[in-house]
Amino acid sequence: MKHAMDKKFNLRKFLIILLVVITVGAVATTLFVLLKNSDDPDAIPEFAPQDTDNNAEAIEDDDDEEKLEASEGGGAVSMSYSKEVSISLSEKKASIIFWNPKRSTMDAVLQLIVISGEQEAVIAQSQLLPAGYKLEKMDLLDTAKLSAGKYSGKFNILYYNPETGERAVVNTNIPVDIQVKE
């Protein structure tokens, strides 16, 4: 009788330990995935970032109150940009020209991507660039590994509904020439 009870107790202890191990493993896995995604520079945010980019500036003399015409559920963006990008490794900044004028109906997030053969790497990613704002500086990601020279790259511009924060199903790529200096 006692032996049976001991056996039952050991089984229960085993199951408890097993459940604890599974629970700890699940929590650890969840934390790992969440942290990885937040650090992953290539992760495209599905919803608009909460904060306007620190480097964003209001476009001077942008008095255009009339928005571009966009059908319901669609979007309309106006952009002015240069395809020349200059990077200072010492300042860890990229100098760009990208404007999202007021007449755009969408907010934007800008990724600066270096292309080397088949490989692409995001070296800078902005926070929110609302309509009516321009970006002329981007902070390089810590993961950006570059040396002085010329590179091919692109802007990947993502658009977000300013009311719902949802990402649009249309995005824009703009090939750029990147000059990296020490």
Interaction with other proteins in 70-89: which residues (CB under 8 A)?
Answer: 70-84
Provide, rounded to whole angstroms, the least separation between the CB of residue 154 and other proteins.
8
Of 54 and 71, the one with the shorter C-beta distance to other proteins is 71
Q: Does 152 engage in binding with other proteins (CB under 8 A)?
A: no
Distances (CA, A) of 22 to 7, 8, 27, 30, 177: 23, 21, 9, 12, 50
Please tell me whether residue 168 binds other proteins under the rule CB under 8 A.
yes
The rounded distance, in Å, linking the Cα atoms of 126 and 56 is 9
C-beta neighbour count of 87 within 10 angstroms: 26
Q: What angle do CA 109, 115, 118 make, to 5 degrees?
A: 120
Q: Is 33 in the site for other proteins (CB under 8 A)?
A: no
Residue 125 class from Cβ within 10 Å (0-12 exposed, 13-18 middle, 19+ buried)?
A: buried
Q: How far is the CB of 105 from other proteins (least distance, A)?
A: 9
Q: Work out whether 175 is an interface residue with other proteins (CB under 8 A).
A: yes
- Which residues from 39-68 bind other proteins, rule CB under 8 A? 68
Nearer to other proteins, 52 or 78 (CB): 78
Contact 171, 93 (CB under 8 A): no
Residue among 25 and 175 whose Cβ is closer to other proteins: 175
Q: Which of 29, 30, 152, 173 binds other proteins (CB under 8 A)?
A: 173
To the nearest whole angstrom, how small is the minimum distance from the Cβ of residue 77 to other proteins?
5
Please tell me the distance from the alpha carbon of residue 33 to that of residue 35, in angstroms, as a whole number: 6
Q: Which residues bind other proteins (CB under 8 A)?
A: 68-84, 97, 168-175
